[in-house]
Chains A and B, each alone.
Chain A
Amino acid sequence: MAELQLQHLDKIYDNNVQAVYDFNLDVKDGELIVLVGPSGCGKSTTLRMVAGLEDISRGALLLDGKDITQAPAKDRDMAMVFQNYALYGHMTIYENMAFSLTLRKEDPNVIHKKVLAAAEILDLTSQLNKKPSQLSGGQRQRVAMGRSIVRNPKVFLFDEPLSNLDAKLRSATRREILLLHKRLNATILYVTHDQTEALTLADRIVCMSMGHVQQVGTPLELYDRPNNIFVATFIGLPPMNMFETVFEDGQLKGKGFSVELTDEQKQLLSGYVHRKITLGVRPEDIAEGGSLEIRVTNNENLGMNTLVHGFLGDNFHITAKLRGWSDNKAGDSLPVHFKRMHFFDPETTNAIRKEAE
């Protein structure tokens, strides 16, 4: 059992800069939580507070119901994997993995069994006699994970572990982390700025901005039902298109274009008549054919899909993700329609939803 509760956590530095505001989260046993957000949003600070590497200014941290807010890092029974691996260059992989247990003066035979078991899980058995400099980035990251596994901690903390890897290796290591999570059924707190990592790995995602939690939910919830404009534009690649519109005559009217709404959508927006509404449309929710016209500026053919960049109406940048190969040229006019739309209040930036939602 390893249930982690973060209750009203604040981080205020000595110079009165507040990095984290009122962070609340209940992490269930065996859950993989990903903290995602742009640089400087407070996700790593939160992780470091959980690890005990940063003091918690306000709030409480509970592990299995026990308050560990003031406990030193070594007594928290958590293992952290860093972006830069933090391996000892003069030690072999075996010695690196055994190091924390050796420091605790555990029986060498027990250490040996734990290291071999971890190496087996991570497919590192043949590398145990090598030095870190002889391994690839992905292998080094696996060693860093192995060093955590041998400790058998209650909670694993990953601080952007894949950021130093190239795209191909990142994808492979991501799959390994996922398999590892399933195999160990470990409670994991994982920090990344890469939304692909967040969407593919997480049981639940915590999306952060400027020290505030913007939304907590499953990857599908964040993608499908973003709470606000920040989450809508941060989750999803390419990001959601946003258009300033006004709700009039049962239509959303932007400069140079208008969008017809269904009865259900009109009812949803009934409180916004003659008011501004930010219309959000994901690039993959745009399909060819319809009354809207994109003035194409350039195409990015990706094989399976084509990203069409251009302008909608007077001067709204738009990106459409169309199926298959497309040969639009700059200046072409491409008729499209929106298959799905999201509505946001431009004043609060919050999503406009039914009361029940």
Chain B
Amino acid sequence: MNEATTRLDRMRYTKNTTSSRLALLAIVCNVLFFISLYKSDVGTYYYTILIGASIIYNLVFMLATFLASEGVKNYQKGYTWLLLVLGCGQILRIFIYPMQGHNTMIGGAPVIGNGQFIRMIIYLSLSAACLFVSAVINWRKSRALTAHIASVEAVKA
């Protein structure tokens, strides 16, 4: 067994921890994002239906990402799509609260200031990046593993 084959064969018994940890890191970035969002004192601006939706989405996001992190740990290819969808969702969110809040003026000042705005974009971008990279790694690894298992079984047969 050469080095490359050994590396592939190892995947039969080891977890895809890279993808899994990246997905968990995406959750951490998301937490930093909503902490940054909810801690700011913006008067009555947040008391809209959107903030409620944001809270629910955060809960759904964390649950779905955690499930995906467990799925990709076992090289399940299907979870790649879920990670990609969640990553796209994080990118889309940049154009909702941070952008809207930054562009909305109350009493002559933006609801979300420059510093907070940049931090929130960074958190969401990092979260999305983690999800995309996790998805790509899982896709590549799971494909390679499937092919390897098929070749091992063919040899056995």
Interface residues of A (CB under 8 A from B): 92, 94-95, 108-109, 112-113, 115-116, 128-129
Please report the C-alpha to C-alpha distance between residue A129 and residue B73 in the assembled complex, in whole angstroms. 13
Q: List the A side residues contacting B10 at CB < 8 Å.
A: 108-109, 112
Interface residues of B (CB under 8 A from A): 1, 3, 6-7, 9-10, 12-14
Q: List 6 A-B contacts (CB under 8 A).
A: A95-B14, A108-B10, A109-B3, A112-B6, A112-B10, A113-B6
The reply to whether B13 and A113 contact each other, CB–CB distance below 8 Å, is: no
**How many pairs of residues, A versus B, come closer than 8 Å at their CB atoms?**
23
Please report the C-alpha to C-alpha distance between residue A354 and residue B90 in the assembled complex, in whole angstroms. 93
Chain A interface secondary structure, helix, strand, loop or mixed?
helix
The chain A residue with its CB closest to the CB of B13 is A94
The reply to whether B6 and A129 contact each other, CB–CB distance below 8 Å, is: no
The reply to whether B3 and A92 contact each other, CB–CB distance below 8 Å, is: no
Choose from B1, B6, B13 the contact partner of A128 (Cβ within 8 Å): B13
The chain B residue with its CB closest to the CB of A92 is B13
Q: List the A side residues contacting B7 at CB < 8 Å.
A: 108-109
Q: List the B side residues contacting A115 at CB < 8 Å.
A: 13
Please report the C-alpha to C-alpha distance between residue A112 and residue B9 in the assembled complex, in whole angstroms. 8
The chain A residue with its CB closest to the CB of B4 is A109
Interface centre among B3, B9, B10 (most CB of A within 10 A): B10
Please report the C-alpha to C-alpha distance between residue A108 and residue B7 in the assembled complex, in whole angstroms. 8
Please report the C-alpha to C-alpha distance between residue A283 and residue B3 in the assembled complex, in whole angstroms. 61
Please report the C-alpha to C-alpha distance between residue A94 and residue B7 in the assembled complex, in whole angstroms. 15
Please report the C-alpha to C-alpha distance between residue A128 and residue B9 in the assembled complex, in whole angstroms. 13
How near does chain A come to B9, taking the closest CB pair, in angstroms?
Answer: 7
Q: List the B side residues contacting A128 at CB < 8 Å.
A: 12-13
Please report the C-alpha to C-alpha distance between residue A112 and residue B4 in the assembled complex, in whole angstroms. 12
Given contacts A109-B6, A112-B6, A113-B6, contact A129 B1 (CB under 8 A): no
Q: List the A side residues contacting B1 at CB < 8 Å.
A: 113
Q: Which 3 A-B pairs have the closest CB atoms?
A: A94-B13, A109-B6, A112-B10
Q: List the B side residues contacting A95 at CB < 8 Å.
A: 13-14
Please report the C-alpha to C-alpha distance between residue A128 and residue B12 in the assembled complex, in whole angstroms. 9
How near does chain B come to A171, taking the closest CB pair, in angstroms?
Answer: 31
Q: List the A side residues contacting B12 at CB < 8 Å.
A: 128-129
Please report the C-alpha to C-alpha distance between residue A115 and residue B7 in the assembled complex, in whole angstroms. 14
The reply to whether B3 and A129 contact each other, CB–CB distance below 8 Å, is: no
Q: List the B side residues contacting A112 at CB < 8 Å.
A: 6, 9-10, 13
How near does chain A come to B148, taking the closest CB pair, in angstroms?
Answer: 13
Q: List the A side residues contacting B14 at CB < 8 Å.
A: 94-95
Please report the C-alpha to C-alpha distance between residue A116 and residue B6 in the assembled complex, in whole angstroms. 11
How near does chain A come to B138, taking the closest CB pair, in angstroms?
Answer: 18
